């Protein structure tokens, strides 16, 4: 056998052995069906994803909630038409009701002074930006959304536009169901956001905290949990106690972490500063 043939033989042998070793060390994971851009393939994709989720540790509660997921055309329509983030700051503030949020926020700051004092003491985040986010996201809890959360996230995980990102969110949502932190029939915003300040499922897992001390995290029914979790999110994204949060100031970067739209970031900064006075 020539030297060249011997080298090829040894190379192929090593690759075969390596393949056998990897097949033992790495578990076989079923890959979900390909993404799609309409409802046509959703049912097939859902069945394949169910198998994948089961093989990756999702328990019966989460899997049962996944079985009831439906393709939400409204979620896709809203995902394709987020026009308000392209408005001027002045128009965005007017459409979002900035003056109303400021007025209500000042009132809530007074009536919940102890809560905001405790949150600022623990996380370094003052009341203003928290109330601005709360008011902007859900009108202080009046508009939590009516989309089935697991269906919304499953729809976006199946959709090709941001499939990888929302597949992670879907796994997180199913884990929340498994842990009893999210009801299988829970409803929220069109993109699967949860609670008073609209956390995506993965952020609930990562930043959700027990703000009222009852031993569980409930971003829907507990305002202290929702606001403390929001403060925890901002601190985890670089918020520094006592620093400013207007554009160009140190804490504005944390607001960028909350929402990628520049017009939203500036609106929160302006509304928050007016509430803080």
Task: Report the alpha-carbon distance of residue 273 to residue 73 in Å, rounded.
Answer: 38
Which run of H or E residues covers position 269? Answer: helix 262-276
Give the SS3 label for residue 36.
strand
What integer pLDDT is reported at residue 245 of this predicted model?
Answer: 98
pLDDT per residue as tens digits for the range 244-261:
999 999 999 999 999 999
Residue 11 scores a pLDDT above 70: no
Percent pLDDT > 70 in the chain is 88
User: Are 185 and 162 within 8 A, CB to CB?
Assistant: no
Task: Report the alpha-carbon distance of residue 95 to residue 264 in Å, rounded.
Answer: 12
DSSP result, 3-33: HHHHHHHHHHHHHHHHHHHHHHHSPP-PPPP
User: Are 107 and 243 within 8 A, CB to CB?
Assistant: no
What integer pLDDT is reported at residue 15 of this predicted model?
Answer: 44
Domains of the chain with CATH codes: 87-145+197-276 (1.10.530.10)
pLDDT per residue as tens digits for the range 48-60:
999 999 999 999 9
User: Which two structure tokens, joined as six digits, stand for 65?
Assistant: 């909630």
Select the more confidently predicted residue: 175 or 22: 175
Give the SS3 label for residue 174.
helix
203 closest CA partner among 132, 153, 143: 153
What integer pLDDT is reported at residue 98 of this predicted model?
Answer: 97
pLDDT band at residue 3 under the 50/70/90 scheme:
very low
What integer pLDDT is reported at residue 223 of this predicted model?
Answer: 98
User: Are 123 and 238 within 8 A, CB to CB?
Assistant: no
pLDDT per residue as tens digits for the range 136-148:
999 999 999 999 9
Region 136-163 average pLDDT: 97
Contacts 24+ apart (CB under 8 A), 73-79: 73/39, 74/147, 74/190, 75/147, 75/151, 75/152, 75/155, 75/156, 75/190, 75/191, 76/155, 76/156, 76/159, 78/190, 78/191, 79/156, 79/159, 79/161, 79/190, 79/191
* Rg, the chain, Cα only: 23
pTM: 0.86
What integer pLDDT is reported at residue 33 of this predicted model?
Answer: 67
User: Are 255 and 269 within 8 A, CB to CB?
Assistant: yes
Task: Report the alpha-carbon distance of residue 154 to residue 176 in Å, rounded.
Answer: 14
16-25, 33-42, 43-52, 65-74, range with the lowest pLDDT: 16-25
What integer pLDDT is reported at residue 81 of this predicted model?
Answer: 83
What integer pLDDT is reported at residue 122 of this predicted model?
Answer: 98
What integer pLDDT is reported at residue 22 of this predicted model?
Answer: 39
pLDDT per residue as tens digits for the range 17-37:
444 443 444 344 445 568 999
Task: Report the alpha-carbon distance of residue 226 to residue 219 in Å, rounded.
Answer: 5
Region 72-79 average pLDDT: 95
């Amino acid at each position: 056998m020539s030297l060249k043939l011997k080298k090829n033989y040894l190379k192929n042998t090593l690759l075969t052995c390596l393949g056998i070793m990897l097949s033992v060390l790495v578990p076989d994971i079923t890959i979900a069906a390909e993404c799609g851009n309409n409802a046509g393939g959703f049912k097939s994709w859902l069945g394949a994803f169910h198998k994948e989720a089961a093989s990756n540790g999702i328990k019966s509660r989460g899997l049962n909630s996944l079985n009831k997921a439906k393709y939400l055309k409204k979620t896709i329509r809203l995902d394709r038409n987020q026009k308000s983030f392209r408005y001027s700051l002045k128009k965005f503030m007017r459409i979002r009701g900035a003056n109303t949020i400021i007025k209500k926020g000042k009132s809530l700051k007074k009536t919940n002074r102890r809560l905001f004092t405790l949150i600022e003491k623990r996380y370094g985040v003052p009341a203003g930006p928290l109330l601005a986010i709360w008011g902007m996201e859900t009108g202080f809890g009046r508009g939590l959304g009516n989309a089935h959360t697991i269906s919304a996230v499953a729809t976006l995980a199946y959709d090709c536009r941001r499939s990888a990102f929302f597949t992670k969110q879907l796994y997180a949502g199913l884990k929340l169901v498994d842990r009893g932190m999210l009801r299988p029939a829970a409803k929220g915003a069109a993109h699967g956001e949860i609670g008073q300040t609209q956390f995506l499922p993965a952020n609930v897992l990562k930043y959700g905290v027990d703000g009222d001390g009852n031993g569980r995290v409930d971003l829907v029914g507990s305002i202290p949990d929702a606001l403390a979790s929001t403060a925890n999110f901002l601190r985890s994204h670089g918020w520094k106690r006592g620093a400013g949060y207007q554009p160009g100031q140190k804490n504005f970067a944390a607001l960028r972490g909350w929402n990628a739209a520049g017009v939203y970031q500036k609106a929160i900064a302006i509304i928050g500063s007016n509430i803080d006075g």
